[in-house]
Structure 1
Amino acid sequence: MRIASRSQQALVSHPPVGPILGTSEKGVHTFVTGSGPDLVLIHGANGNLRDFTLGFAERLSSSYRVIAVDRPGLGHSKSMPDGQTSVHDQARQIRAALREIGVQRPIVLGQSYGGAVALAWALQEEPAALVLVSAATMPWPGSLDPWYRITANPIGRHLIVPLASAFVPKSYMRRAVAGVFAPQAAPENYSEHLGTNLTLRYGSLSSTVQQINGLRADVVQMQSHYPMLNLPVELVHGDADTIVPLTIHAEPLAKLLPNANLTVLQNVGHMPHHTHVEEVVNAIDRAALRAGLR
């Protein structure tokens, strides 16, 4: 009862902000603004496309047709069947949906987990360019935190995720958001704008734990194929990012990609598209120039 009530509150307080493209079984919620070369924005874990609509998409709309998407299973996009939640599956679902509005050769920006989806897209069908912001793209040492280890199997997921969906307070989510932004501060109204109730819906939490638990295997499989990507790639990463560390992800990835340019932001955490917008916009503009789109 409490799970259903929370879910309904989320749908009322944070309804779709744009069209849902694709089939009824594989619909992808989008937000589209601006005109120019296509720029697709793919958000990270535990989020939705609203992460990009607190000024970032609008900042780019004078130069690009900006298309922000909810990744499958999150926000208002359709969930994927168990066993079909890999970054490859997500990239295929997003690409298929965006063909409906004529997206063919975009710049694809992936932030955090979304960076792995962007790379999966490029390995399937090269876009014009990639922009990887604080992107999780390489295998990491050690294991995930206990929450993900407990929910790695269907029994744990079906027992624990409903409890979290029903009882995790918004205050916990606000503290989690602060940790993701550290050492910078989150925008004052970020949690409310993003919609923590959307994140806490049972379906969204279940999708997230499946996706995160499968991510390491996905990037292990993709790693050997990275050197085959010849498109322009701009990487932007903070050296104070403790969520997706620079030395584990962006630095080794830049050495594998033939046409990568890495911008390291000093004393910057995991969310530079909010805290250091101009540096990320500059990377997008460089990608467009290198791809011959400007």
Structure 2
Amino acid sequence: MLITLTLIALLVAGLVVWTKLKTREIEARYPPAGEMIDVGGYKLHAVHVPRPADADLPALVFIHGASGNLLDQSVPFRPKLEGRAEMLFIDRPGHGWSERGGAANATPDGQANAIAAAMKTKGITSAIIIGHSFGGAIAASFALAHPEMTSGLVFLAPATHSWPGGIAWYYDLTRLPVIGPLFANTLALPAGLTRLESGSACVFAPNPKPDDYITSTAPALVLRPGAFRNNAIDVANLKPYVSRVAPRYSEIRTPTVIITGDSDSVVLAHIHSEGLARDIEGAELVWIRNLGHKPDHVTTDLAVRAIEKVAGYDVDLETAAEMAEASLAADDAGCPS
């Protein structure tokens, strides 16, 4: 018995050491891309693109989803919008290189307030808020808490309403005291690295994952123990949060476009996207056939057109959607087991 316990203790210690070393390696490979913004006792990491002299769009603030960081939005959108608008790409509290802050940041409203504080620090008084997946819940919360700072909303495959069922077991495990930190510091990173490519492919399916997605957007950052646990807590808190807040979405009064795919295997579009279209007066819902969970990367041009529409341009989103669908019609990438 003593020998068994000793072996277990040595194994755990070895995994902890390996995780620390691998974390340093990941951080060296994907260093901060922007600046640290003090938002009142802690700092958020962000890439701020100043307003160009000939900007034709209002300021744009991008909010990434679960398991992500600001690169997931800056990689597809910055090249498309450079020179047209002031942009702010933010690592959500406790993700990427941002510090977590207090307990309030365990729910979307706290994170929305943190983003608002970062905007004010950079002199952004109002902006179109673009939220992908989990970022959609934060974008909606932002509009509720800071309507005067919200000039428009663009939701991309959002997660905003209560859904049937629960969440993946490792989220529930990781958020627990004692057991959660132990799991995050031992097994999460080695197990996660084996699923990085296949898991990302499943998020994109049926659309093919870009070959450079892992290296260009650094999803490995979420496998670091602190970020992994913050991500798990965020996801575990989402369902009770949106169950409480979704009835207030009817209070939102701002131009809104929602882009969603009929082949999204991550969120149930008929619950979240249709729910937003129902709840926000005047919201335009754009359904795309054969689109998975990544309209930010797969249909970036359509998302840009949605931003233009929200900004007041006369944009025919129906025609833009038809063009996007035509480009995806032959996609049949699977989800690796």
TM-score, normalising length: structure 1: 0.94
Q: Mark the CA change 1:235 to 1:18 in structure 2 (over 3 Å): closer, same or farther.
A: same
What RMSD in Å do the two structures reach over aligned CA positions?
Answer: 1.8
Q: Give, in whole Å, the separation in 1 of the partners of 2:192 and 2:105.
A: 30
Match of 2:218?
195
Letter of the structure 1 residue corresponding to residue 23 of structure 2: S
Letter of the structure 2 residue corresponding to residue 49 of structure 1: L
Match of 1:278?
301
Q: Mark the CA change 1:228 to 1:83 in structure 2 (over 3 Å): closer, same or farther.
A: closer
Aligned residues: 291
Q: Give, in whole Å, the separation in 2 of the partners of 1:24 and 1:9.
A: 30
Q: 2:48 aligned to 21, 32, 38, which one?
A: 32
Q: Mark the CA change 1:248 to 1:175 in structure 2 (over 3 Å): closer, same or farther.
A: same
Match of 2:33?
17
- Whose Rg is larger? 2
Q: 1:257 aligned to 248, 261, 280, which one?
A: 280
Task: Flag structure 2 segments of 5+ consecutive residues without an equivalent.
Answer: 1-16, 315-337
Within a 5 Å distance, the mapping from 1:1-294 to structure 2 comes to: 1-23=17-39, 25-33=41-49, 35=52, 36=55, 37-82=58-103, 84-126=105-147, 127-168=150-191, 170-289=193-312
Matched-pair contact (CA < 8 Å) for 2:59–2:127: yes
Matched-pair contact (CA < 8 Å) for 1:9–1:197: no
Q: Mark the CA change 1:181 to 1:14 in structure 2 (over 3 Å): closer, same or farther.
A: same
Matched-pair contact (CA < 8 Å) for 2:131–2:155: yes
Does 38-47 or 54-63 show the bigger shift? 54-63
> What is the Cα deviation at residue 205 of structure 1?
0.1
Match of 2:328?
none
2:270 is paired with a residue of what secondary structure? coil
Alpha-carbon deviations, 1:123-143, whole Å to 9, x = none? 101100110000000100111
Q: Give, in whole Å, the separation in 1 of the partners of 2:224 and 2:189.
A: 8
> What is the Cα deviation at residue 234 of structure 1?
0.8
Matched-pair contact (CA < 8 Å) for 1:235–1:261: yes
> What is the Cα deviation at residue 93 of structure 1?
1.1
TM-score, normalising length: structure 2: 0.82
Task: Flag structure 1 segments of 5+ consecutive residues without an equivalent.
Answer: none
Q: Give, in whole Å, the separation in 2 of the partners of 1:63 and 1:11.
A: 32
Q: Give, in whole Å, the separation in 1 of the partners of 2:193 and 2:182.
A: 21
Q: Give, in whole Å, the separation in 1 of the partners of 2:132 and 2:268.
A: 13
Matched-pair contact (CA < 8 Å) for 2:59–2:128: yes
Does 75-84 or 222-231 show the bigger shift? 75-84
Q: Give, in whole Å, the separation in 2 of the partners of 1:147 and 1:223.
A: 26
> What is the Cα deviation at residue 74 of structure 1?
0.4
Matched-pair contact (CA < 8 Å) for 2:44–2:118: yes
> What is the Cα deviation at residue 26 of structure 1?
2.2
Letter of the structure 1 residue corresponding to residue 87 of structure 2: V
Q: Mark the CA change 1:163 to 1:241 in structure 2 (over 3 Å): closer, same or farther.
A: same
> What is the Cα deviation at residue 24 of structure 1?
7.2
1:187 is paired with a residue of what secondary structure? coil
Q: Give, in whole Å, the separation in 1 of the partners of 2:235 and 2:137.
A: 11
Letter of the structure 2 residue corresponding to residue 214 of structure 1: N
Does 175-184 or 45-54 show the bigger shift? 45-54
> What is the Cα deviation at residue 82 of structure 1?
4.5
Q: Mark the CA change 1:83 to 1:124 in structure 2 (over 3 Å): closer, same or farther.
A: closer
Structure with greater proportional helix content: 2
Letter of the structure 1 residue corresponding to residue 241 of structure 2: D
> What is the Cα deviation at residue 107 of structure 1?
0.3
Q: Give, in whole Å, the separation in 1 of the partners of 2:154 and 2:139.
A: 8
> What is the Cα deviation at residue 83 of structure 1?
6.1
Moved over 4 A (4+): none
Alpha-carbon deviations, 1:190-247, whole Å to 9, x = none? 0111223311111110100000000011111111111111111110101111101211
Q: Mark the CA change 1:182 to 1:102 in structure 2 (over 3 Å): closer, same or farther.
A: same
Q: Mark the CA change 1:200 to 1:239 in structure 2 (over 3 Å): closer, same or farther.
A: same
> What is the Cα deviation at residue 158 of structure 1?
2.0
1:243 is paired with a residue of what secondary structure? coil
Q: Give, in whole Å, the separation in 1 of the partners of 2:296 and 2:176.
A: 33
Does 261-270 or 21-30 show the bigger shift? 21-30
